[in-house]
Copies of this chain bind each other. A is one copy, B any other.
Amino acid sequence: MAGRAAVPEVIWARPERTGRGPKPAFTRADIAAAAVRLADAGGLDAVSMRHVAAELGCGTMSLYNYVPRKEDLFELMVDAVSGEHELFEPTGDWRADMLRNARQTKTLMHRHPWMVRLMSGVYGFSPNALRYLEHCLACLDPLEAAAGTKIELVAMLNGCVTTYVSNELSTAERVRSLPWSQEQENAVRIAYLGSQVASGAYPRLAASFLEDAGPIDLDAVFERMLERVLDGFSPRG
């Protein structure tokens, strides 16, 4: 035996308990909850194997019995917050239902700002993610379209929501580890942007700044985006 060949693994395919030996001190849910707690409190960078282990009250390396790689820990986290989706009874109005789903996703990402960074990694399909996908498909039953099209709709809607929130929170998550506040960071960036626009090198951009003088209504931008996505899938649209 020249050492077991390295073989890929999906954490969800590995049984949580295998009958033999002492029974585990924690469940996957415990671990995910601890990691989510840390991330909520201190940002994604606060989620290290050592910290999570400490939060659980066990040795660092004991964590590796449950989670073979840190990536798998992230997968647990994504699944845990995917489970926070409220899977309501479809009403028969697919547009309204999907709007509700999308708004829920946004709320959820505001509650867990670090999610956008993990979502862009697309960690396979965890159980709760599959449940949510199935729920969306149920909401889309009234829509007469091919199954593939419906999945494209869900993917595009989720993608747009993620991108939107990512833009919204761009600095918020990043600035945590920095020695200055988000307001300061934003102020500096906006000042630079203003100076560039004022330089005259970007006339159309400058014109756009002059045109929309007032503060931007982010909620309205979000809602418009949703409508546009759904429009793209509405019959005779």
Query: Which stretch in A21-29, A55-63, A79-87, A221-229 binds the other chain?
Result: A221-229
Copies of chain A in the complex = 2
Partner of A208, one of B10, B137, B224, B228: B137
Interface centre among A71, A147, A212, A231 (most CB of B within 10 A): A147
A146 within 8 A of B: yes
Distance in Å: Cβ of A6 to nearest Cβ of chain B:
4
Q: A168's closest neighbor in chain B, by CB?
A: B122
Is A188 touching B9 in the complex (CB atoms < 8 A)?
A: yes
Residue interface mask A123-155, B partner, CB < 8 A = 1? 011010011011001100100001110111001
Interface centre among A138, A201, A204, A225 (most CB of B within 10 A): A204
Q: Which residues of B contact A191 (CB under 8 A)?
A: 13
Taken together as a complex, chains A and B put the C-alpha atoms of A228 and B237 apart, in Å, by: 10
A147 touching B208 in the complex, CB below 8 Å, given contacts A120-B120, A122-B170: yes
Query: Which stretch in A35-43, A93-101, A105-113, A177-185 binds the other chain?
Result: A177-185
